[in-house]
Structures are given as structure tokens and as C-alpha cells.
């Protein structure tokens, strides 16, 4: 893939700029509970302000289904962003329309305007050309710094590039592409991929595309039980949807024995009795899950083996998805064990995906990782070799 231009490749001379940021922050009662994404956008915004650019920011928040919904307003973000920048941030009443166009036209050098949620319009997710043209507005430069949305061909990630002369990656996206490129290009000995989560069907492409490239592909989370079921093992009351089983069967049928040997499944599990619901928990070998028991995490043998592979065999590691029911102790232990192993290894390590990142930050190991991605789905698609529409739409260097 040809290198894409970044903000460093552009001569900034006060040109009106539209920045696609990722302000899809968690809110509770209108209060931001995690401002990581706001902090991540600051370097790009500040660089533009320092260059005297009138800066218009756009983002989605939540899933308002193509119409205005006050609970998904970006107003709380505007207030917090103003504090973080120590500068005024004007909040627009909408993201398009005559009033917004006038506000953008009146925006002075080094001033910031935050547009309202782009998903308040159906044209955003439909990548509607008229909506994209209106969103592009008077911008002479487009900067995409929302990596977590670049796998979506929406108006704010792809459509606007048809109406703006220069389109480049922001500082955050530039860092993402540099780090993920190492995983995207990796193959053979020393390349270890760790995939977790509940749904094989969501990661079937990742598994089939990565197995030929990896030394080992480590599987954890509830999707492991789908592979067990295809192998004829008892999975008890464990989460194991028919769609996941069908996807696992497709993978095992498609891949030859040599490739399947690279896929590491749990050796043992940590399970809980739910039928009857006694609440009792115990460890069991992977082939000894009992009826009425719910496997919720990998067991100690698996933690040790996965940790050994990560520490002793890895040169490049990409991790996406939890090893178990991370939300509830003690079934977070498998995920935390993987996080600790990544902190201990000398390999180049990339972590992507909400629960994986949460595990790393929970035990304060984020500084021990080579890179923590801001886009779970986007990072996985990029590493497995897919093209991201938002990346493809940017200018080539």
C-alpha cells in the first residue's frame, strides 16, 4: 500500500480545515466518563491552531439512527475540549445547513468550531454525496484523525474527500498506520496473533487470512467453545451460538492440518455451575466441560502456555479481544494474564479492541506496550490485510 500523506506533508498557511475526530466518548448522565479520545485529538488540533487555521471539527457519537437525539449531542465534548485546549470552542447547532455554513465562514484564524453529531443525519452512514458536499463546506484541507472510523465508508470519512482539495491523515492516524504497518507486513516465525471475544463469525475473515501468515494464532474467549463443539466436545451451558459454530466449522473445513496446527485453543477452562445455579466455580480440562456448567475464562494451564509463547517465541504480537468474561472477576484473570505476558515480552506489541485495552490500562501496563490502537475493528481489518475506505480516500504521498 502506498504511503498516505499526513499533516507533516502539508504546508499549513491558515487554510480553513475540516478535521474528522473521534469524539465517540462514553457518557453517563451527560458527563464524559473517559476522555482518552479527546486527549488523543489534541496534538493535531493544536498544530492547526498554531498555524492559524480556522478549525472545524466533526464526529459521530453513539447510534442516533439518522435523526437528532439529545442524549447523543456533542455539547459535553465541546465544553471539555475547551478546557483541554484552554481556548474557546464554539458548538454548532447542527453539522450542515445555512446557519452552520455562516458560522464556518465567520470562523477566524486559530478558532475552533465543533459541529453537532454527524449521525443526526442519515446521509452520514449512507455516504450521501449532497450531505458530504455540505459537510465539506468551505474547507480547503481535510484531516482525518479518527482511526476507529476509517473502516467505514461514511460521508465524514470518505465522501468529503471528493469535495476538498487536500486530504491527509492527522497525527494520531499517522501513528496508527506506522505501528500497524509492522503487523500488516509480518509473517512467519515470531508473528503471534491473539484473538478473543464471543463471535467467530465476526472474526472468520481475520482467522482465515492470518493463519497462513502466523507462527501461532492464539484463540480465547467464548469463540473457543464454538471450535470445541465442532470437534465434538461437550460445551455445557457455555455461550456458543449456532452462527459461531457454523463459522468455526467453515474455518476447520477450509484450512489444512498444517494451518490448523498453528491455531492454539485453550487447554483448560474456568467454569461456573449455572444449571442448577449454585454459583460454584472450578477449573477443568478443555475436554471435560460438564453439562450445566458455563465456561467463562481460560484456565491456569492455558494462561501459562499462552504466556510462554508470548514471552519466548514472539517477535511481533497483535492482540484483539478478551480471553474470557472480562467484566466479572475472577473470570478476568485470563485476559489479565495475557496483558502481563505482553508487558514482559521483548516483542513489538500492538493492542487493539476495547476489552484488551481495558485490561492493559487496568493493571497500568499501557506504557509497556509498543502501541495501543484507538480502533478495535479498524485495527483488526487493517492488520489482516483489508483496505480501509477512510485510508484509501486520503492523498498519496
The residues annotated with a catalytic role in the active site are 37, 199, 354, 377
Half-sphere exposure of 319 (CA within 13 A, CB side): 34
User: How is residue 311 written as a grid cell?
Assistant: 514471552
Distance CA 354, CA 209 (A): 22
Residue among 161, 158, 287 nearest 232 (CA): 287
Burial 32-50 (b: 16+ CB within 10 A, else e): beebebbebbeebbebbbe
At 126, is the secondary structure helix, strand, or coil? coil
- Rounded to whole angstroms, the Cα distance separating 397 from 394 reads 9
Q: Is 49 helix (H, G, I), strand (E, B) or coil?
A: helix
Report the C-alpha gap between 55 and 49 in whole angstroms: 7
> Where does the chain show beta strands of DSSP type E?
17-20, 27-28, 31-32, 55-58, 89-91, 112-114, 141-144, 166-169, 191-195, 216-219, 263-264, 268-273, 281-285, 293-298, 316-320, 348-352, 371-372
In order of 235, 237, 238, 283, 294, the CA distances from 277 in angstroms are 17, 11, 13, 17, 10
Amino acid at each position: 500500500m502506498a504511503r498516505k500523506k499526513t499533516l507533516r506533508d502539508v504546508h499549513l498557511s491558515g487554510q480553513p480545515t475540516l478535521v474528522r475526530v473521534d469524539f465517540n466518548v462514553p457518557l453517563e448522565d451527560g458527563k464524559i466518563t473517559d476522555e482518552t479520545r479527546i486527549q488523543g485529538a489534541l496534538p493535531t488540533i493544536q498544530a492547526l491552531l498554531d498555524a492559524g487555521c480556522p478549525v472545524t471539527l466533526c464526529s459521530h457519537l453513539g447510534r442516533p439512527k439518522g435523526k437528532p437525539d439529545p442524549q447523543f449531542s456533542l455539547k459535553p465534548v465541546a465544553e471539555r475540549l475547551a478546557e483541554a485546549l484552554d481556548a474557546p470552542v464554539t458548538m454548532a447547532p447542527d453539522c450542515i445547513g445555512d446557519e452552520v455554513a455562516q458560522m464556518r465562514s465567520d470562523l477566524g484564524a486559530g478558532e475552533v468550531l465543533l459541529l453537532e453529531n454527524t449521525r443526526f443525519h442519515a446521509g452520514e452512514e449512507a455516504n450521501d454525496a449532497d450531505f458530504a458536499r455540505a459537510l465539506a463546506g468551505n474547507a480547503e484541507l481535510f484531516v482525518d484523525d479518527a482511526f476507529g472510523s476509517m473502516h467505514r465508508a461514511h460521508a465524514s470519512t470518505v465522501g468529503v474527500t471528493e469535495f476538498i482539495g487536500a486530504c491527509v491523515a492527522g497525527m494520531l492516524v499517522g501513528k496508527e498506520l506506522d505501528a500497524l504497518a509492522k503487523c500488516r507486513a509480518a509473517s512467519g516465525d515470531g508473528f503471534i496473533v491473539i484473538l478473543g471475544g464471543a463471535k467467530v463469525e465476526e472474526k472468520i475473515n481475520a482467522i482465515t487470512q492470518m493463519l497462513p501468515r502466523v507462527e501461532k494464532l492464539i484463540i480465547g474467549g467464548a469463540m473457543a467453545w464454538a471450535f470445541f463443539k465442532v470437534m465434538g466436545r461437550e460445551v455445557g451451558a457455555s455461550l456458543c451460538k449456532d452462527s459461531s459454530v457454523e463459522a468455526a466449522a467453515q474455518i476447520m473445513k477450509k484450512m489444512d492440518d498444517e494451518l490448523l496446527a498453528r491455531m492454539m485453543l485453550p487447554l483448560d477452562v474456568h467454569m461456573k455451575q449455572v444449571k442448577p445455579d449454585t454459583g460454584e466455580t472450578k477449573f477443568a480440562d478443555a475436554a471435560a466441560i460438564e453439562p450445566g456448567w458455563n465456561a467463562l475464562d481460560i484456565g491456569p494451564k492455558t494462561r501459562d502456555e499462552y504466556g510462554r509463547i508470548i514471552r519466548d517465541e514472539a517477535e511481533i504480537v497483535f492482540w484483539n479481544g478478551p480471553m474470557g468474561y472480562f467484566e466479572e472477576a475472577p473470570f478476568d484473570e485470563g485476559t489479565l494474564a495475557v496483558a502481563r505476558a505482553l508487558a514482559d515480552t521483548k516483542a513489538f506489541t500492538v493492542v487493539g479492541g476495547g476489552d484488551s485495552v481495558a485490561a492493559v490500562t487496568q493493571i497500568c501496563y499501557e506504557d509497556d506496550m509498543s502501541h495501543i490502537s484507538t480502533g478495535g475493528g479498524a485495527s483488526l481489518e487493517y492488520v489482516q490485510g483489508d483496505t480501509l475506505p477512510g485510508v484509501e480516500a486520503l492523498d498519496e504521498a
